[in-house]
Amino acid sequence: MFWRIVSFLACQLGGGLAGWLAASSTGAATTELEGLALGLVLGGMAWFLFDMSRGARLLNWLRAGDVSEVALSAGLWGEVSARVRRLVLGRDRLLRESQNRLQDFLLAFQASPNGVMLLNAQGGIEWFNQTAATHFGLDPQRDMLQHIGNLVREPSFVRYFAIQDYQEELVMPGRESTPARPVRLSVHLYPYGQGRLLLLSRDITALEQAEAMRRDFVANVSHEIRTPLTVLGGFVETLQTCSFTEPERERYLALMAQQAERMQTLVSDLLTLSRLEGSPPPGISNWIPIPDLMRQLEADGRALSAALNPATGRLHALVFDGPIEGEIAGVENELFSAMSNLVGNAIRYTPSGGAIAVRWDFLPDGRVVFSVSDTGPGIAPEHIPRLTERFYRVDHSRSRDTGGTGLGLAIVKHVAQRHGAELSIQSTLGKGSVFSITFPASRFRTAPDRILPLPG
């Protein structure tokens, strides 16, 4: 401001002096005063025009919006331009920081495993992440600002959105839900801001399936234990109230022992599953010779075949084949239990005289496969994905007749997973089945060379 006043006074002084000197050459006093006044006016006008030109430069600078340089370097307008530039730079910095924070929030929402959708006060879609797009079948280019009611037409969601009572979540079918593969979504709306809504969605299909499996598990365990307990209770009551001959008593006691053994087997399998699920995976420090496993499997398999066919004597055609010097890493009793389950199932479900092959094979990538193939009745395709569920049976009466608990394949699956292996099932109705456990290459090695004693 000081320099602005000084420049104005300088223009006035210069203009007045120039006017006085110009008028003094005429020699009249009045003319000299008029010249002085005219000079002052012209000097003020000159200063005003100069000042206006600087103001115009500042205005053009503001209109251009280029703050890389200051429009004026000195004077009042120079200070104004410097201050405006600092304010604009500060505003731009805050805007960039706000945009960066917003972008970070959006990226966080984008990375969320749950669906996130922002709705305006009219129900229009302002933003959604990829998970929400998958849940509701939305397209970012096509559906932005569209009303949510026009895109999500599930009747339960339409009612939920219209009632505007968002205290509870809504469970609804997913867009890709089918009777064969149901998809369940949990949707919850949260009001915020000026009538806006935040929609959160998550896929709870696995949770509902796990809950259903838990309910089925409890119901099946109760049923499996209640049945032999009922039989045992009936026999005990009968023995207590009636008199029987010794052969009849022996028969009843044998049936009671059979039911007690069935309960003991069931409890043992449940404890085995619990132990498998709660213990860490085995390492590769313990190596089991495959020939030893095969010899034990063959002995137990032939004994089971003979026990299942005592009258006819028509045994199964059993073939056991595998690498002679190979070793597998893991827990021996777990591996034998899983393999014995597969061999036992094949023998139980294959009619007398049928063929069963137990073998080991090498894959080109170094993995090894233990497989059990049979010529039994086979399994329908719709049952195969559920065979490893606890207590799942294709034929309930047939399974109980063969003494199965419905937990064998669940144990096989858990043993395979603990050893980094994969259980696969292939079956054709009327032709037979093949159950395979594929072990990673890291769990197989050829048998180490025997160290021969030195002569003498």
User: In the predicted model, is pLDDT for residue 436 greater than 90?
Assistant: yes
Query: Where is mean pLDDT largest: 1-5, 287-291, 308-312?
Result: 287-291
Q: What is the pLDDT of residue 456?
A: 39
Which residues neighbour 51 within 8 Å (Cβ) at sequence distance 6 or greater? 4, 77
Say if CB 421 and CB 367 are below 8 A apart. Answer: no
Q: What is the pLDDT of residue 102?
A: 78
Q: What is the pLDDT of residue 22?
A: 67
Which residues neighbour 61 within 8 Å (Cβ) at sequence distance 6 or greater? 71, 81
Give the pLDDT band of residue 191 (cuts 50, 70, 90): very high
| 328 and 379 both lie in a single domain | yes
The Cα-based distances of 267 to 208, 222, 405 in angstroms read 26, 12, 10
Can you tell me the distance from the alpha carbon of 404 to that of 388, in angstroms, rounded to the nearest whole number? 13
User: In the predicted model, is pLDDT for residue 175 greater than 70?
Assistant: yes
The Cα-based distances of 355 to 53, 63, 351, 373, 416 in angstroms read 106, 92, 9, 8, 25
Say if CB 173 and CB 154 are below 8 A apart. Answer: yes
In a domain, 95, yes or no: no
Q: What is the pLDDT of residues 412-428, one digit of tens each?
A: 999 999 999 999 999 99
Give the pLDDT band of residue 315 (cuts 50, 70, 90): confident
Say if CB 443 and CB 326 are below 8 A apart. Answer: no
Tokens linked to 275: 């132990």
Can you tell me the distance from the alpha carbon of 51 to that of 4, in angstroms, rounded to the nearest whole number? 9
The Cα-based distances of 405 to 3, 156, 266, 362, 400 in angstroms read 102, 41, 6, 32, 7
In a domain, 455, yes or no: no
| 335 and 296 both lie in a single domain | yes
| 437 and 316 both lie in a single domain | yes
Nearest-10 crossing angle of helices 75-111, 29-64: 10
On the CB side of 284, CA atoms within 13 Å amount to 11
Q: Which domain holds residue 235?
A: 209-279
User: In the predicted model, is pLDDT for residue 282 greater than 80?
Assistant: yes
Amino acid (one-letter) located at 296: Q
Q: What is the pLDDT of residue 455?
A: 44
In a domain, 104, yes or no: no
User: In the predicted model, is pLDDT for residue 83 greater than 60?
Assistant: yes
CATH number, domain with residue 392: 3.30.565.10
User: In the predicted model, is pLDDT for residue 78 greater than 70?
Assistant: no
| 395 and 323 both lie in a single domain | yes
Give the pLDDT band of residue 454 (cuts 50, 70, 90): very low
In a domain, 97, yes or no: no
| 197 and 214 both lie in a single domain | no
Q: What is the pLDDT of residues 7-63, one digit of tens each?
A: 666 766 676 666 666 666 665 555 666 666 766 677 667 767 776 777 777 677 677
| 142 and 159 both lie in a single domain | yes
Q: What is the pLDDT of residue 189?
A: 94
Of 253, 279, 305, which residue constitutes the final position of a domain? 279
Instruction: Find the range with the poorest average confidence among 215-229, 271-285, 293-307, 338-352.
Output: 215-229
**Among 22, 71, 73, which residue's Cα sits nearest to residue 43?**
22
Structural domains in the chain (count): 4
Q: What is the 3-state secondary structure (H, E, C) of the chain?
A: CHHHHHHHHHHHHHHHHHHHHHHHCCCCHHHHHHHHHHHHHHHHHHHHHHHHHHHHHHHHHHHHCCCCCCCCCCHHHHHHHHHHHHHHHHHHHHHHHHHHHHHHHHHHHHHCCCEEEEECCCCEEEEECHHHHHHHCCCHHHHCCCEHHHHCCCHHHHHHHHHCCCCCCEEEECCCCCCCCCCEEEEEEEEECCCEEEEEEEECHHHHHHHHHHHHHHHHHHHHHHHHHHHHHHHHHHHHHCCCCHHHHHHHHHHHHHHHHHHHHHHHHHHHHHHHHHCCCCCCCCEEEHHHHHHHHHHHHHHHHHHHCCCCCCCCEEEEECCCCEEEECCHHHHHHHHHHHHHHHHHHCCCCCEEEEEEEECCCCCEEEEEEECCCCCCCCCHHHCCCCCCCCCHHHHHHCCCCCCHHHHHHHHHHHCCCEEEEEEECCCEEEEEEEECHHHEEECCCCCCCCCC
| 287 and 396 both lie in a single domain | yes
Q: What is the pLDDT of residues 238-265, one digit of tens each?
A: 888 887 788 888 888 888 887 888 788 7
In a domain, 106, yes or no: no
Q: What is the pLDDT of residue 202?
A: 92
Q: What is the pLDDT of residues 341-363, one digit of tens each?
A: 999 999 989 988 899 999 998 89
| 264 and 300 both lie in a single domain | no
In a domain, 103, yes or no: no
**Among 271, 343, 349, 257, which residue's Cα sits nearest to residue 302?**
343
| 313 and 268 both lie in a single domain | no
In a domain, 99, yes or no: no
Q: What is the pLDDT of residue 427?
A: 92
Among residues of the chain, what percentage have pLDDT more than 90?
A: 25
CATH number, domain with residue 252: 1.10.287.130
CATH number, domain with residue 123: 3.30.450.20
Q: What is the pLDDT of residue 118?
A: 93
Tokens linked to 42: 């012209």
In a domain, 107, yes or no: no
Of 185, 203, 221, which residue constitutes the final position of a domain? 203
Tokens 């005990």 label which residue? 236
| 34 and 52 both lie in a single domain | yes
Q: What is the pLDDT of residues 95-136, one digit of tens each?
A: 888 888 878 877 888 888 899 999 999 999 999 999 999 999
| 24 and 69 both lie in a single domain | yes
| 186 and 121 both lie in a single domain | yes
Of 245, 279, 313, which residue constitutes the final position of a domain? 279
What is the residue-averaged pLDDT of the chain?
A: 81
Q: What is the pLDDT of residues 356-404, one digit of tens each?
A: 999 998 899 989 999 999 998 998 888 888 888 877 777 655 444 555 6
